[in-house]
Chains A and B, each alone.
Chain A
Amino acid sequence: MARMKFICDAERCIECNGCVTACKSEHEVPWGVNRRRLVTVNDGKPGERSISVACMHCTDAPCMAVCPVDCFYKTEDGIVLHDKDLCVGCGYCFYACPFGAPQFPQAGAFGLRGKMDKCTYCAGGPEENGSAEEYRKYGRNRLAEGKLPACAEMCSTKALLAGDAEVLTKIYRTRVVTRGKGEEIWGWSMAYGGSGKLADQPGGKA
């Protein structure tokens, strides 16, 4: 049994937002809903890093645990999906999720919320595979076409990886071993020369 996961390599992510755009475009996600987004730390400073964040399809998903209408299910490949026909838009899953994955379209005036929307790992939902209804509610089902999620396949630097956890681990391990070190080799000193230590860089803190 495969365990589908995402992993984002912060050493490779260049904050291009290609993954965000790919997701938006692939599923025609409505305005105000962001199934995937980029998080940047130390923005504009030496040591800046970005990672792409969406639903991480947790092994022990807290959203599933708190849902009062039991609309979440997990596929045999470990993908956490939900039935929008059951969702009441209560927002419990939003509070439970450590990644801020559940999104709620604003359905009307006075902050009225619509049904929850989140990353489906490009696996659609509980409708007929590839049907118009599935596309309307959950977006395209790329997995049923034998493809990986659009965000990862679109990533130009291959910072964002998707697939079976075992395979991803092997790919990531190869990268880390090949790099040998972190920013001492690949960071500032590689680009501009001098010390690779963050403390020695302009604006860097000791």
Chain B
Amino acid sequence: MKKLTALAAAFAAAAAFTGCTEIAQEPGKSYAGKEDAKPYAGDQFKGDKAKWEASLAQRSQGQNDYLRMPSDKK
């Protein structure tokens, strides 16, 4: 009986955790159009993905006005 309860608990935990999984970001469907260039492939970043990501991250943080405020005014 104990074994059965443990098994049921394990099954319930596994079932509950499936809700926490994230579905794949990759499209399941085929794309029939033209290939798009990477956004960091142009003249500005010359294929340097890290530099491009850093630029976007800096811009993103510009939206956080709690960081833009002087620390004594927080």
Q: Which A residue sits closest to B33, measured CB to CB?
A: A83
Q: B-side binding surface: helix, strand, loop or mixed?
A: loop
The answer to whether B56 touches A125 (Cβ under 8 A) is: no
The answer to whether B56 touches A86 (Cβ under 8 A) is: no
| A78 contacts B by Cβ under 8 Å | yes
| A168 contacts B by Cβ under 8 Å | yes
Given contacts A73-B27, A144-B40, contact A167 B35 (CB under 8 A): no
The answer to whether B59 touches A163 (Cβ under 8 A) is: yes
Contact of B39 among A82, A143, A152, A163 (CB under 8 A): A143
Given contacts A144-B39, A145-B44, contact A126 B60 (CB under 8 A): no
Contact of A73 among B23, B31, B44 (CB under 8 A): B31
Q: How far is the CA of A64 from the CA of B26 in the complex (A)?
A: 12
| A161 contacts B by Cβ under 8 Å | yes
Given contacts A70-B33, A71-B33, A152-B63, contact A164 B56 (CB under 8 A): yes
Q: How far is the CA of A124 from the CA of B66 in the complex (A)?
A: 31
Question: Which residues on the A side are within 8 Å of B27 (C-beta)?
Answer: 64, 72-74
Cβ of A191 to closest chain B Cβ, rounded Å: 20
Selected A-B contacts with CB under 8 Å, 25 pairs: A3-B25, A64-B29, A65-B29, A70-B33, A73-B33, A74-B27, A83-B32, A86-B33, A124-B36, A125-B36, A126-B33, A126-B36, A129-B42, A144-B39, A144-B41, A146-B45, A146-B59, A158-B63, A162-B60, A162-B63, A164-B56, A168-B60, A171-B63, A171-B64, A174-B64
